[in-house]
Amino acid sequence: MLNSLPIENILFLDIETVPQKQDYDSLDESFKKMWDTKVSSLQKSGRIAETPDEYYRSAGIYAEFGRIICISVGLIKGKEFRIKSFFGDNEAQLLMDFASLLRSHYSKAEHLLCAHNGKEFDFPYLSRRMLVNGIKLPKILDTAAKKPWEVQHLDTMELWKFGDYKSYTSLNLLATIFNIPTPKDDIDGSKVYDVYYTDKNLERIVTYCQKDVLTVAQIIMRMKGEPLFESAQVIISS
């Protein structure tokens, strides 16, 4: 499959998310109760030990309690890799803009979306937040009633497993073993909360998101035995 991947039909993507509010105390009472229930379940399963207010910094990983602040996408055009980002404090607007891109340019059966751990995180998160914001799902994200081979989603973590389901392999680890420049040279996902809510530096998060998108594409190039994109070949559009 790797050798036959139609790379110019792939839209590479990555998302960055944060909790819907800056802190636990800012939640209204109904959401506090829902969050308390979520945390209680995680505590009982032994997955966390924190209290609801302590664990709230991690709420961004759950689509029901978080929101998207950046979607970066990349595509291969000839010898160039072109990147564009949708970002801002208005989640509904950036999701509508992204959905419009998918409907206009990625609506055919040969098109694919690709992300690292995308099947577990990015793709379902995008779909859930679109529905929460009253946005109709673009065809490529609507997986309901589709057979597995009809779903147009690629996941570099899944590709790397080759059927082995014993472990999680990070994007940074794959970048390291493939001798690809790390996308984590400034911040990583654990710092997005502070950079957004404390530093108020969304541009820094956008740059980080764009690096992740490029790294996902570079991993696919390595898997296919193709040369990596040089910096001069990477075009970032506003």
pLDDT tens track for 67-90: 999 999 999 999 999 999 999 999
pTM, 2 dp: 0.95
CA distances from 111 to 6, 10, 180 (A): 9, 6, 26
Q: What is the mean pLDDT of residues 116-132?
A: 97
Rounded to an integer, what distance in angstroms lies between the CA atom of residue 107 and that of residue 72? 18
Task: For residue 9, give the nearest of 77, 71, 73, 80 by alpha carbon.
Answer: 77
- What pLDDT, on a 0 to 100 scale, did the predictor assign at position 4? 80
Distance CA 181, CA 178 (A): 9
The predicted pLDDT at position 47 comes to 93
pLDDT at 2: 76
The overall average pLDDT reported for the chain is 95
Q: What is the mean pLDDT of residues 33-45?
A: 97
Whether residue 167 has pLDDT greater than 80: no
pLDDT in tens, 95-116: 999 999 999 999 999 999 999 9
Other CB atoms within 10 Å distance of the CB of residue 136: 11
Q: What residue type is assigned to position 162 of the chain?
A: F
C-alpha 182/C-alpha 99 separation (Å) is 29
CATH code of 2-16+69-237, in short, is 3.30.420.10
Please tell me the predicted confidence (pLDDT) of residue 1: 65
Residue spans per domain, the chain: 2-16+69-237, 21-64
> Looking at residue 132, what is its pLDDT?
98
Gap between the Cα atoms of 174 and 159, Å rounded: 11
> Given this model, what pLDDT does residue 197 score?
98
Mean pLDDT over 17-41 rounds to: 97
pLDDT level of residue 191 (50, 70, 90 thresholds): very high
* pLDDT score recorded for residue 238: 74
- Whether residue 137 is predicted with pLDDT greater than 90 in this model: the reply is yes
